[in-house]
Structure 1
Amino acid sequence: MAEQRARLDLAAARHAVEVALEAARRAGNRVSVAVVDTRGHDILVVRDDGAAWFTAGVARAKAATAALVGIPTTAYSGLADAHPALAELIDAQTRQSLTTLPGGLPVVVDGEVVGGLGVSGAQPEQDVEYAQAAVAAG
């Protein structure tokens, strides 16, 4: 019998998005939230009422970066700064829009990266806070 791998499903993505949106709303912010699979492909992308038009694409890039690289986007920033050639290689191999902007986190289940979550539309530290709340809500 094949081993069943952990995965991120639509129900979990919806829950995470709602947690992030609610955290942002409590602070008076309107953001976009993206949840992607391990390959950086969309599971769910939501732009809250009043969030800037471009935030959905930024949230998607943050989520994809975290999923594909397996680390928060803030850590990818350090990696990209320290090793620009490696960052260029990762970008070329993934064929995704990767970013070093704060607010992208890998989603990990049983020690395995199963996707990524990105938040965009508030201040950088707030995007990170909302993403952490969503990932922690599991």
Structure 2
Amino acid sequence: MTALSQALAIVEHVRTSAEESGLRVSCSVVDAQGHEIVTMRMDRATWFTPGIARVKAQTAAALKRDTSALGALREAFPDLLDQVGEQLSFTPTTLSGGVIHASGVAVGVSGAHPDQDVSLAKGAIAHVLDG
């Protein structure tokens, strides 16, 4: 499966799962270097969610960890994310919903409750990349 076909399968899994739960989200998939492969916004998802999903995925890829773990990192080392952010082409986020896979591919979901964003991203990764 090519990177593009995997990314398309991931966003489709997120879309289907979100629809089944009555959610409207956006999903972004980036490669191990944080370069965008595909971003999708569901009908009636809020206009700004694609950008947030993209930043969640890019942050997870750049820092090699899920964004949900970064809040504790910011608390322990308050200046670290600011210093890292100055070296990136985007501002990293601590918002939950950015999930990294062992392959380096990262998925960001935005538009639902943060726990739901994480669940949608992890479910798609498990189904497509680990399935």
Same structural fold, with TM-score higher than 0.5 when normalized by the shorter chain: yes
Q: Confirm or deny that 1:12 pairs with 2:6.
A: yes
1:78-125 deviations in whole A, cap 9, x for unaligned? 11121122111211122222111111001223xxxx221000001111
Q: Which amino acid letter does the alignment assign opposite residue 86 of structure 2?
A: A
Question: How much does 1:58 deviate?
Answer: 0.4
Among all aligned residue pairs of Structure 1 and Structure 2, give the percentage whose two residues are the same amino acid.
42
Match for 1:116 among 102, 106, 110? 106
Name segments (4+ residues, structure 1) moved above 6 Å.
none
Per the normalisation by structure 1, the TM-score is 0.87
Q: Which residues of 2 match residues 41-56 of structure 1 at below 5 A?
A: 41-56=35-50
Q: Which amino acid letter does the alignment assign opposite residue 25 of structure 1?
A: E
Aligned counterpart, 1:132: 122
Aligned counterpart, 1:75: 69
CA distance in 2, matches of 1:28, 1:46: 17
Aligned counterpart, 2:33: 39
Count of residues paired in the alignment: 127
Match for 2:92 among 86, 93, 98? 98
Q: Which amino acid letter does the alignment assign opposite residue 81 of structure 1?
A: E
Higher strand fraction (1 or 2): 1
Per the normalisation by structure 2, the TM-score is 0.92
Question: Which segment drifts farther, 84-93 or 53-62?
Answer: 84-93
Q: Which amino acid letter does the alignment assign opposite residue 16 of structure 2?
A: E
CA distance in 2, matches of 1:42, 1:68: 12
Residue aligned with 1:119, SS: strand
Question: How much does 1:37 deviate?
Answer: 1.5
Query: Is this contact kept in 2: 1:62–1:103, CA < 8 A?
Result: yes
Q: Confirm or deny that 1:25 pairs with 2:56.
A: no
Residue aligned with 1:84, SS: coil
Residue aligned with 1:33, SS: strand
Query: Is this contact kept in 2: 1:40–1:96, CA < 8 A?
Result: no
CA distance in 2, matches of 1:56, 1:29: 14
Name the Cα RMSD after superposition.
1.2
Q: Can you give the 5+ residue segments of structure 1 that lack an aligned partner in the other structure?
A: 1-7
